Chains A and B, each alone.
Chain A
């Protein structure tokens, strides 16, 4: 089955630790995205990648880093510099960089205490 997988579903970390969230897609999509969702708010774009080996900052990139070494993988690292890391993180992909219909993974809920 084609789709996007994110792991783990739930993640708990202590303040000051970096943590990496996994996102894998087997849809052969060029573009991938990371969003953050807080209660009562819509999705906010953290980073996006239009093609392998390239990525760009989104609207709230501070405290986050990404890599895109393989087409199917777009991991997100939440660093200790991110002031409010507790949130629901969603990964998405789209066939090409200019197609707006995005397909979402099931998300990872990160709790930092």
Chain B
């Protein structure tokens, strides 16, 4: 059965800290891994990773995929209170390209001033 597991489930840090969020997966026919940020309501897309070892970067956020060890990490440097959110990891699942995603439980990040 395909599954995605995120850790930690919750995290509290202070502004300026660096955090690392983890996402491990077990899925047949791996195609890609996606990260989303969910603030209050709608998740917004952050990154899609398909190749192992290639870092994707956007400002203070970066992510990398390890297809051998079946995990991805999301790093946030110099955290700000606006980074407080639930971070979701997802992978496509199913034997064919259907757009179906399976999501992890999410990591709730709280950044204190």
- Please report A residues at the B interface, Cβ cutoff 8 Å: 4, 31, 33, 35, 40-45, 48, 50, 56, 58-59, 90, 94, 96-107
Contact = CB atoms under 8 A, between A and B. Distances in A.
Nearest to B97: A98
28 contacts: A33-B99, A41-B105, A42-B88, A43-B43, A43-B90, A43-B101, A44-B103, A45-B101, A45-B102, A48-B98, A48-B99, A50-B99, A56-B98, A59-B102, A94-B99, A96-B99, A97-B98, A97-B99, A98-B98, A100-B31, A100-B32, A100-B48, A100-B90, A100-B92, A100-B101, A102-B99, A102-B101, A104-B44
Contact of B43 (A90, A96, A98): A90
B100 interface: yes
Interface of B: 4, 6, 9, 31-32, 34, 36, 41-45, 48, 88, 90, 92, 97-106
Given A42-B104, A101-B34, A106 B41 contact: yes
B99 A42 contact: no
B25 to A, nearest CB: 12
